[in-house]
């Protein structure tokens, strides 16, 4: 029974149960809020009986009404507490669980997913969409369903009490409701348009922050701000159109409902003339008519809020539908040979990046992946660490398919030094310690020396305790790269992937760091991605990738003898160096 509710509102099983409980409690609260009207009804009934039948009327004293007031207030207070706990408190817990579930989902997605998605898009989903869901589920959706239940009960009760006046009171409701429901598609399109324009603005701002140096360097401030202003105006126009369309429809429905009051007055006067209803019944319906349309208006407002929520719910469903990378937790390979067995891979089913790639990177040897840009070198290296899952073929580690191993378990055997280094806004000590949580300060200092980091660390104001800013903004490219190498040294994993690890270093530092790398890769499986041929002079094996295929493979001496693609690359770089 709860499954359709879970799917429709993107709730967990616990959240669906809490939602039903919250809706029922809100309905009870709506009924309890009618107790003052019951109080007035009891008083008017007694007062009118006193006037109309003074001899037979039995009057209740002041104590009775005081007791009734206390009983009604206590009931309302208890129901309100229960309703708050079952809606607001429960919804906030569900929102927290949704954020944790989303974070867990992101944790189990392929690492390459984050390179394909815009940062502002993910941030919007994690923060803004969840906030919108939290607010609407706590302030609108339970109240919507509860109000519908309450109104249905009230209608049935009043219909049995006085069917003619009930029909006069409620006849505009289905027509006004139909107006809101028929406008659903229009509101959904408007909400989706506004949501997309908001994301475009967020992405543009994020892009501006990420590329601020390029914007200033090339005097592009006016162009960037003009483009941002255009996107903001599109977003603003979308908001105005959306709010106007929703406001016109909802307020038209509100206005149409007011015809119910007119109907009660006209029909009530006719029933009094025909003596089919007494003055007391007429007064009751006038009292009900003056209040009953407020909760109906709330239903319409909340229904519009639910339409607004659908865009966010669909976004959550998209995230939930993303395929996870899973596998067994226990994995102890007998060796650390990496074998590509007829591997093919493409991004999003588009043009293939690598096709039928086969080679073996042996433990204790260094295997270099070389070739022209766009040949598939970086993709191949990342596939070896299961950043993606291959389309065809297998990648084996120690003879076992890595597609059957949990990525987090697998990555404990890998140390990766990327060309683009990412550092955190914390101390140098903690940035290096990322390589191995729990490492001592002495261990961190040891690997920092091996990576030739101390030469610049000692010049910093607080040494190893210097906070280096967002992404190491206070350091040079070469210094950031050396910290990345120190991390890998600290992790001391049996497999090392080097993606142009020395690309940002000058010749002198590159020579020194190469010695540290020699210590890092001793007796390990090493994959080196290289563009400069002089950095692979001592490798054991070379795999030449071109257009996503292996065109040559072997040790350097054999490839030089063949005078194929590898020799052509050597000659080309020698010509450029002259």
Same domain, 440 and 301: no
Nearest to 35 by CA among 73, 86, 85, 64: 73
Q: Given this model, what pLDDT does residue 112 score?
A: 66
Which residue has better confidence, 89 or 493?
Answer: 493
Whether 575 shows a pLDDT value over 60: the answer reads no
Rounded to whole angstroms, how far apart are CA atoms 430 and 490?
12
Please give the average per-residue pLDDT across 311-332, as a whole number: 81
Dump pLDDT digits (tens) for 287-309.
777 777 777 777 777 777 777 77
Whether 347 shows a pLDDT value over 70: the answer reads yes
Please give the average per-residue pLDDT across 251-262, as a whole number: 84
Q: Given this model, what pLDDT does residue 249 score?
A: 79
Please give the average per-residue pLDDT across 454-482, as a whole number: 85
Residues 6+ apart with CB under 8 A from 170: 155, 158, 260
- Please list the alpha-helical segments (H only) found in 258-384: 259-273, 279-321, 377-384
Same domain, 296 and 354: no
Dump pLDDT digits (tens) for 70-108.
888 898 898 889 888 888 888 888 888 888 888 888 888
Same domain, 360 and 224: no
Contact 565, 552 (CB under 8 A): yes
Query: Domain for residue 104, yes or no?
Result: yes
Q: Which helix (H) or strand (E) holds 416?
A: strand 414-417
Same domain, 483 and 397: yes
Contact 330, 349 (CB under 8 A): no
Could you tell me the CATH number of the domain that includes residue 481?
Answer: 3.40.50.300
Rounded to whole angstroms, how far apart are CA atoms 310 and 316?
10
Please give the average per-residue pLDDT across 178-206, as a whole number: 81
Query: Domain for residue 326, yes or no?
Result: no
Query: Domain for residue 328, yes or no?
Result: no
Same domain, 260 and 347: no
Count of domains for the chain: 2
Q: Given this model, what pLDDT does residue 410 score?
A: 92
Nearest to 414 by CA among 526, 569, 546, 318: 526
Same domain, 372 and 278: no
Same domain, 421 and 519: yes
Same domain, 479 and 373: yes
Same domain, 369 and 294: no
Query: Domain for residue 481, yes or no?
Result: yes
Same domain, 361 and 435: yes
Same domain, 459 and 378: yes
Query: Domain for residue 332, yes or no?
Result: no
Query: Domain for residue 327, yes or no?
Result: no
Instruction: Please tell me whether the overall predicted TM-score, pTM, comes out greater than 0.85 for this model.
Output: no
Which residue range is the domain that position 171 belongs to? 2-321
Same domain, 238 and 360: no
**Final residue belonging to a domain, choices 288, 321, 354:** 321
Could you tell me the CATH number of the domain that includes residue 48?
Answer: 1.20.1560.10
Query: Domain for residue 331, yes or no?
Result: no
Query: Domain for residue 330, yes or no?
Result: no
């Amino acid at each position: 029974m709860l499954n359709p509710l879970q799917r429709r509102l993107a709730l967990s099983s616990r959240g669906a149960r809490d939602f039903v409980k919250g809706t029922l409690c809100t309905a009870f609260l709506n009924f309890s809020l009618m107790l003052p009207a019951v109080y007035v009804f009891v008083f008017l009934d007694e007062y009118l009986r006193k006037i109309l039948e003074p001899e037979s009327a039995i009057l209740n004293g002041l104590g009775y009404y005081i007791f009734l007031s206390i009983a009604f207030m206590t009931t309302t207070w208890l129901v309100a507490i229960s309703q708050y706990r079952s809606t607001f408190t429960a919804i906030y817990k569900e929102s927290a669980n949704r954020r944790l579930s989303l974070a867990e989902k992101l944790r189990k997605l392929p690492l390459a997913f984050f390179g394909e998605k815009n940062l502002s898009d993910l941030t919007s989903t994690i923060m803004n969409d969840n906030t919108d869901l939290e607010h609407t589920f706590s302030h609108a959706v339970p109240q919507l369903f509860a109000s519908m239940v309450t109104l249905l009960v009230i209608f049935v009760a009043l219909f049995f009490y006085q069917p003619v006046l009930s029909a006069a009171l409620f006849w505009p409701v289905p027509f006004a409701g139909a107006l809101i429901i028929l406008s659903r598609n229009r509101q959904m399109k408007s909400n989706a348009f506004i949501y997309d324009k908001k994301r475009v603005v967020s992405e543009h701002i994020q892009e501006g922050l990420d590329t601020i140096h390029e914007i200033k360097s090339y005097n592009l401030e006016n162009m960037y701000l003009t483009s941002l202003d255009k996107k903001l105006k599109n977003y603003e126009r979308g908001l105005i159109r959306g709010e106007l369309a929703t406001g016109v429809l909802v307020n038209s429905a509100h206005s149409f409902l007011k015809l119910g009051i007119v109907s009660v007055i006209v029909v009530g006067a006719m029933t009094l003339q025909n003596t089919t209803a007494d003055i007391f019944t007429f007064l009751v319906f006038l009292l009900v008519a003056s209040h009953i349309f407020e909760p109906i208006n709330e239903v319409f407002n909340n229904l519009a809020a639910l339409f607004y929520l659908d865009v966010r719910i669909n976004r959550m469903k998209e995230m939930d539908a993303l395929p996870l990378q899973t596998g067994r937790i226990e994995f102890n390979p007998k060796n650390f040979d990496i074998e590509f067995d007829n591997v093919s891979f493409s991004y999003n089913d588009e043009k293939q990046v690598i096709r039928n790639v086969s080679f073996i990177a042996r433990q204790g040897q260094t295997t270099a992946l070389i070739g022209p840009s766009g040949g598939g070198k970086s993709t191949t290296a990342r596939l070896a660490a299961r950043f993606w899952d291959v389309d065809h073929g297998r990648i084996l580690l120690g003879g076992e398919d890595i597609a059957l191993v949990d990525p987090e378990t697998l990555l404990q055997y890998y140390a990766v030094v990327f060309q683009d280094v990412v550092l955190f806004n914390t101390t140098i000590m903690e940035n290096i310690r990322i390589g191995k949580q729990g490492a001592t300060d002495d261990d961190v200092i040891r690997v920092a020396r091996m990576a030739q980091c101390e030469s610049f660390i000692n010049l910093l104001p607080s040494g190893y305790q210097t906070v280096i800013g967002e992404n190491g903004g206070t350091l040079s490219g070469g210094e950031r790269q050396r910290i990345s190498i120190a991390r890998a040294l600290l992790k001391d994993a049996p497999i090392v992937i080097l993606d142009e690890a020395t690309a940002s270093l000058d010749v002198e530092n590159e020579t020194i760091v190469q010695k540290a790398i020699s210590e890092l890769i001793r007796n390990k499986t090493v994959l080196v991605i290289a563009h400069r041929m002089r950095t692979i002079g001592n490798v054991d094996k070379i795999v030449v990738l071109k257009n996503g295929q292996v065109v040559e493979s072997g040790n350097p001496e054999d490839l030089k003898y063949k005078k194929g693609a590898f020799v052509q690359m050597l000659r080309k770089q020698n010509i450029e160096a002259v």
